[in-house]
């Protein structure tokens, strides 16, 4: 009887081809992280529910896959790893050298409506620096993010790093007498500007609790999509005290210039990030169609929220789903992801030599090469077809002690004895 079981909506099955793409993305993230001086960590896939609600409020519970275990404990599968990071660092804060430069690539789950680029289960690259108040830590994270985008083959024409400032928004909202308890509501509304058509956003803004003056100033701030620090000082220094905020932004831009990535970056006051725990510079890597490929910022209060000491912290996350779609659209996925890639496929060209085939396969594998052979006796033509399907670089046709090496791409064939071949198999892959 045929099974009717299917993967849960919003999740993915990783067949070998999809697994190759996943590994390509994660291996690139890991390589860039290590190159930039970050160390890898991980945490449990589920935590106490309170760890997430204390950070984001009780309403976050509706967005989680949560459950009660046999001991009556309220737990949740992690929707992000930053709270776990904060917990881990807070537990050993006195033993950890500063700065804490960590990265992770966790599998995350969120109970939301699946759509293109947004799934219930996904992988996310997280990069964080803890224990450094200097804006250089933010520049370090932005550099790592841009370095990964560049390594994937993307350019500033494909992705723009937009940089905003929560303190600037807070100062302006203070000057407008927006109640402290309502600021997060305003910023959450502003964060929707990228996600909604302009008329839909205008309707929400008009229906909010804000008065006409407040709405007018917010619209003005949202018009600053590509701004300079000089313009910020000209437009707002007479209204609110933003000198220190603008100075930090200026320092950040100077560091990004020194890192050689200024062409990727613009100041954009429309970027505020929706999560309430951000306290400083925020940024998003935006691709065509206003798709956020990555996002992050400074969150200096989070360790205190989970019971730790006051510590400066900054970091970002980049998901694999939107990134994979973007790389595919740009034609930037490596060609060898489409099929398996073997170094050698060994063929018994005559009967009675199969034990020697296995011996040769074993020797190649022990020498660090990927090698395989057929699982049942077939004629040479069928075995060559199998080698081609497996993506083998070379076929090795074995007849006694004699070998024939066939380069699959060119069809060129060379006869050689086994001893000479095994002295340097790699030369046939060049």
- Taking only the tens place, the pLDDT of each residue in 334-371 is 988 877 889 999 999 998 899 999 999 999 999 999 99
- Confidence band (pLDDT; 50, 70, 90) for 183? confident
Q: Which residues are 176's β-sheet partners?
A: none
pLDDT at 149: 98
CATH of the domain at 381: 3.40.50.800
198 and 316: one domain?
A: yes
Q: Residues 107, 155: one domain?
A: yes
Question: Quick check: 233 pLDDT over 90?
Answer: no
Residues 325 and 343 in one domain: no
pLDDT at position 41, please? 98
User: What pLDDT sits at residue 189?
Assistant: 83
Looking at the structure, do residues 188 and 244 belong to the same domain, yes or no?
Answer: yes
Residue 336: predicted pLDDT: 81
Among the candidates 335, 353, 368, a domain finishes at 335
What's the pLDDT at 179? 84
Average pLDDT of the chain to the nearest whole number: 90
Residue 240 has pLDDT above 70, yes or no: no
| Domain limit, last residue, from 335, 355, 377 | 335
Whether residues 236 and 287 share a domain: the answer is yes
Whether residues 54 and 112 fall in one domain = yes
Based on the domain organization, do 253 and 192 belong to the same domain?
yes
User: Same domain, yes or no, for 343 and 328?
Assistant: no
Together in a domain, 118 and 50: yes
State which residues form the domain around 225: 16-335
- Average pLDDT of span 258-265: 97
Residue 11 lies in a domain: no
Of the candidates 308, 335, 362, which is a domain's last residue?
335
Q: At residue 88, does pLDDT exceed 80?
A: yes
Q: What is the dihedral of CA 332, 338, 342, 344, to 10 degrees?
A: -100
Predicted TM-score of the model (pTM): 0.88
Q: Assess whether 120 and 192 both reside in one domain.
A: yes
Contact 119, 160 (CB under 8 A): no
Checking if the pLDDT of 385 tops 90, the result is yes
The predicted model gives 90-113 an average pLDDT of 93
Answer yes or no: do 344 and 287 share one domain: no
Residues 82 and 103 in one domain: yes
């Amino acid at each position: 009887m045929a099974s009717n079981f299917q993967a849960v909506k919003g999740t993915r099955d990783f067949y070998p081809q999809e697994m190759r793409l996943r590994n390509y993305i994660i291996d690139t993230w890991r390589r860039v992280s290590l190159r930039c001086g970050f160390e890898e960590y991980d945490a449990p896939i589920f935590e106490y529910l309170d760890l997430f609600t204390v950070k984001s409020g009780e309403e976050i519970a509706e967005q989680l896959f949560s459950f009660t275990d046999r001991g009556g404990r309220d737990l949740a599968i992690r929707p992000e790893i930053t709270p776990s990071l904060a917990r881990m660092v807070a537990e050993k804060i006195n033993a950890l050298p500063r700065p804490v430069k960590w990265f992770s690539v966790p599998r995350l789950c969120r109970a939301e409506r699946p759509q293109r680029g947004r799934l219930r289960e996904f992988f996310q690259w997280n990069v964080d620096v803890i224990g450094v108040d200097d804006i250089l830590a933010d520049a370090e994270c932005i550099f790592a993010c841009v370095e990964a985008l560049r390594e994937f083959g993307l350019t500033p024409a494909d992705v723009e790093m937009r940089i905003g400032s929560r303190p600037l928004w807070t100062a302006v909202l203070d000057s407008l007498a927006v109640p402290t308890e309502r600021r997060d509501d305003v910023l959450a509304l502003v964060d929707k500007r990228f996600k909604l058509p302009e008329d839909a956003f205008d309707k929400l803004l008009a229906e909010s609790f804000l008065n006409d003056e407040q709405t007018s100033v917010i619209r003005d701030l949202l018009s600053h999509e590509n701004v300079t620090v000089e313009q910020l000082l000209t437009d707002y220094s007479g209204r609110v005290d933003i000198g220190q905020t603008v100075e930090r932004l200026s320092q950040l831009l100077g560091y990004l210039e020194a890192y050689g990535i200024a062409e990727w970056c613009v100041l954009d006051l429309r970027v505020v990030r929706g999560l309430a725990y951000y306290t400083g510079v925020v940024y998003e890597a935006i691709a065509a169609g206003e798709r956020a490929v990555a996002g992050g910022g400074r969150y200096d209060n989070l360790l205190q929220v989970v019971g730790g000491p006051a510590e400066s912290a900054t970091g970002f996350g980049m998901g694999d789903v939107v990134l994979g779609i973007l790389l595919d659209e740009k034609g930037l996925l490596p060609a060898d992801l489409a099929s398996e890639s073997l170094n050698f496929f060994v063929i018994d060209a005559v009967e009675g030599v199969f034990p020697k085939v296995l011996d040769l396969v074993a020797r190649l594998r022990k020498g660090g090469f990927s090698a395989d052979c057929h699982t049942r006796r077939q004629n040479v033509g069928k075995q060559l077809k199998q080698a081609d399907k497996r993506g083998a670089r070379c076929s090795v046709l074995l007849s006694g002690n004699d070998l024939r090496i066939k380069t699959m791409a060119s069809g060129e064939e060379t006869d050689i004895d086994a001893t000479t071949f095994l002295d340097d198999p790699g030369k046939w892959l060049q």
